[in-house]
Amino acid sequence: MDPKLDDDALMIRTARGEEAAFRLLVQRWEHDVLAFLSAMLGSAEDAEDLAQETFVRIYRNAGNYRPEGMFRSWMLRIAGNLARSRLRRRRIIGWIPFDPTDHDVADQGAGPEAVLQAGQTSDLIRGALARLPDRQREALVLHRFQGMKYKDIATTMGTTLPGVESLIQRALAALRDELSRGDRMP
């Protein structure tokens, strides 16, 4: 399988049942999906579980996918729906969503002190993210963790450009307020 094939070409082959194409697609995107879900859910175990579910659904719906160059938005929309569903279920059973030991900050190529500090900052932010309303968190994570432009976030989340601006603005203000309350900003 030519690794230079774009996502649409791989999806067309996946719909024909070509395992190599599907595998390439999973390998290409598993990191993005995991990073997104991990920031959404605050749990590496849940992120991996739902990443797997995301790719299963991509496979099962490959025949319905329209090859119009929007694979990533389509994929993250599936992942976002699954994440919100999982978060709703957690709230029903009273789960506390953030586990600071769950993500790996030990291998960043920096000195131990910098790694420790980065780890603490990362934990602080992820803990504060976990307490945001779901849609605010999703918009902010797509923007800052996935590097998506507002226009693409609007498409992925099924909302408008001003809607995205408002979600991200409110998310940022809430994070700032929460982090400064404990005087934990640098």
Partner 1 sequence: MKHVTGHLAAYLGGELDQPTRALVDTHLAECAACRAELASFDQVWAMLDVAAAAPVSAGPGLWSGVRSRTVAVDPARVPWFFGRGPWTRRGWAAVAVAAGVFVALVLPGGTGPDGTGPTVLASSDSAGWLSSTWLDDTSNPGLAEQWMLAGLDSDGSAP
Alpha helices in the chain (DSSP H): 7-15, 19-41, 44-60, 71-93, 112-130, 134-144, 150-157, 161-181
**Taking CB under 8 A as the rule, does residue 10 contact partner 1?**
no
Residues found in the chain: 186
**Taking CB under 8 A as the rule, does residue 41 contact partner 1?**
no
Nearer to partner 1, 28 or 94 (CB): 28
Min dist CB 101 to partner 1, Å, is 13
Among 96, 101, 107, 113, binds partner 1 (CB under 8 A): 107
Nearer to partner 1, 133 or 173 (CB): 173
Q: Is 5 left (phi over 0), alpha (psi -120 to 50) or beta?
A: beta
Give CB contacts under 8 A, 24+ apart, made by 58-66. 58/14, 58/25, 59/14, 59/22, 62/11, 62/14, 62/15, 62/22, 63/15, 65/11, 65/15
The candidate with the shortest Cα–Cα distance to 51, out of 19, 3, 86, is 86
**Taking CB under 8 A as the rule, does residue 105 contact partner 1?**
yes
Diameter over CA atoms, the chain: 55
Residues 42-101 that bind partner 1 (CB under 8 A): 44, 47-48, 51-53, 55-57, 59-64, 66, 68, 70, 73-74, 77-78, 81-82, 84-86
Site mask for partner 1 (CB under 8 A), range 164-183, x = bound: -xx-xx-xxx-xx--xx---
Min dist CB 4 to partner 1, Å, is 20
Binding residues for partner 1, total number by CB under 8 A: 76
Site mask for partner 1 (CB under 8 A), range 126-145, x = bound: x--x----------x--xxx
Min dist CB 6 to partner 1, Å, is 15
How far apart, in whole angstroms, are the C-alpha atoms of residue 156 and residue 177? 27
Among 3, 111, 112, 186, binds partner 1 (CB under 8 A): 186
